[in-house]
Amino acid sequence: MDIAIRLTASLGWLGIALLVFMLWRIARFYEHSSGRRAHSYLFLPPLLLLPAGAAYYIVLDPDFVGSAPADLLLFLGGASLMLATILLGQIMMGAR
């Protein structure tokens, strides 16, 4: 059962990492096609922090409960992803 939980969590987090990677590539494409600065580099910290937090849980504690270092990595990754996504949306919609 432990292997199934780890495999399912790994596949789920792989999908999340792929989505963050696609957001980074969208921001890079927008920068190149429009000539405007879209701050695509802001997607790199979540691309590192979220998989690091997930890997910590998958390797050490597959229950995903109560590990302060992993929770901190996931929180920082999520907060930076939210900031980068909101900023990209504003830039692409012309608000900034």
Range of the domain at 8: 2-93
| Overall pTM surpassing 0.95 (yes/no) | no
**Residue 62 above 80 pLDDT?**
no
State pLDDT tens for residues 5-38. 889 989 999 999 999 999 999 999 999 999 889 9
**Residue 96 above 70 pLDDT?**
no
Per this entry, what is the length of the chain?
A: 96
**Residue 78 above 90 pLDDT?**
yes
Helices (H) and strands (E) in the chain, counts: 3, 0
- The proportion of the chain whose per-residue pLDDT surpasses 70, expressed as a percent, equals 97
**Residue 80 above 70 pLDDT?**
yes
Per the CB < 8 A criterion, the answer to whether 9 and 58 are in contact is yes
Residue with tokens 């949306």: 89
Task: Please count the structural domains in the chain.
Answer: 1
Structure confidence at residue 27 (pLDDT): 95
Per the CB < 8 A criterion, the answer to whether 67 and 56 are in contact is yes
| Nearest Cα residue to 19 out of 95, 85, 63 | 85
Per the CB < 8 A criterion, the answer to whether 96 and 90 are in contact is yes
